[in-house]
Amino acid sequence: MPRGNIQHRENFLNHIAEQSGRPRSQHVERPAWKQQPQWQVFKHESSDKWVERFKKQCEHIHTDVIETETAGVGETVAETIGRYQAASLMMWEDPRLEEAGLNKHFREQMANLGVETHIWDKSKGRENINIAEQTHVGITYSDITLAESGTVVLFSSADKGRAVSLLPETYIAIIPQSSIVPRMSQATQQIHQRVQNGETIPSCINFISGPSNSADIEMSLVVGVHGPVKATYILINDQ
């Protein structure tokens, strides 16, 4: 992509420096912050304890957690789809999903049950969005999972569309236990390191904690607004 335009920058920034009573800042080192309580959260706990905390937090965010062994992922997802009485699903084009058990066999099983399966296909362009809009269930894999807030972190890409976790009414995240870290700090630290290493980070990173909701009417909570109305996390015991 060609470099974008920057307009009216110099005057704007010079004015800021002037108002601040100093010349333009040439180089600024981010200081070592005096207090860093974020690293203390759950620091001395075992990863089992993080898993427990994660499950507990999901109760507060209206999200079902279903645990399964590595071998049973396909089965568990199939059951969940059945429970939602869904007629269609869409998932990322993601080898990790395939490996986890959402493979050919799973798709056949779905077909036998009359559930249409769509895989995000970048060659189809925006057609994917229309499919996602019409589909009942969206399935993605969690890149990083946060114990404290019951959050899945999703790195989008050409094969991992933003719409899959957004447009279908029901959202299912496949979460290996080994992806669980204490809190957002560990995830943003990883992203920060990627930036520092000069990598390009995904154009969209989502931190998703349960289904969409709103309390805009009389501060009373309604689950399910513009995003998914229901969310289920499939937690894989891979440790």
Residues within window 194-223 making contact with other proteins, judged by CB under 8 A? 195-196, 200-220, 222
As measured in angstroms, the least distance from the Cβ of 112 to other proteins is: 29
> Sheet containing 180-181: which strands, arranged edge to edge?
151-155, 144-146, 180-181
As measured in angstroms, the least distance from the Cβ of 7 to other proteins is: 5
**Nearest to other proteins of 34, 104 (CB atom):** 34
> How many residues bind other proteins, per CB under 8 A?
93
Stretch near other proteins under the rule CB under 8 A, chosen from 29-37, 65-73, 74-82, 110-118: 29-37
- The answer to whether residue 168 forms part of the interface with other proteins (CB under 8 A) is no
Contacts of 160 (CB under 8 A, 6+ apart): 92, 93, 94, 120, 140, 154
- The answer to whether residue 61 forms part of the interface with other proteins (CB under 8 A) is yes
Whole-number Å distance between alpha carbons of 233 and 173: 5
Beta bridge partners of residue 222, listed in sequence order = 214
Look at residues 48, 98, 47 and name the one whose alpha carbon lies nearest to residue 73: 98
**Nearest to other proteins of 61, 87 (CB atom):** 61
- The answer to whether residue 56 forms part of the interface with other proteins (CB under 8 A) is no
As measured in angstroms, the least distance from the Cβ of 206 to other proteins is: 5
Half-sphere exposure of 141 (CA within 13 A, CB side): 20
Q: Judged by CB under 8 A, which of 105, 158, 178, 239 binds other proteins?
A: 158
Look at residues 93, 65, 20, 71 and name the one whose alpha carbon lies nearest to residue 175: 65
Contacts of 230 (CB under 8 A, 6+ apart): 84, 169, 170, 171, 211, 223, 224
As measured in angstroms, the least distance from the Cβ of 19 to other proteins is: 4
As measured in angstroms, the least distance from the Cβ of 117 to other proteins is: 18
As measured in angstroms, the least distance from the Cβ of 86 to other proteins is: 18
Q: Judged by CB under 8 A, which of 38, 103, 109, 134 binds other proteins?
A: 38
Residues constituting the chain: 239
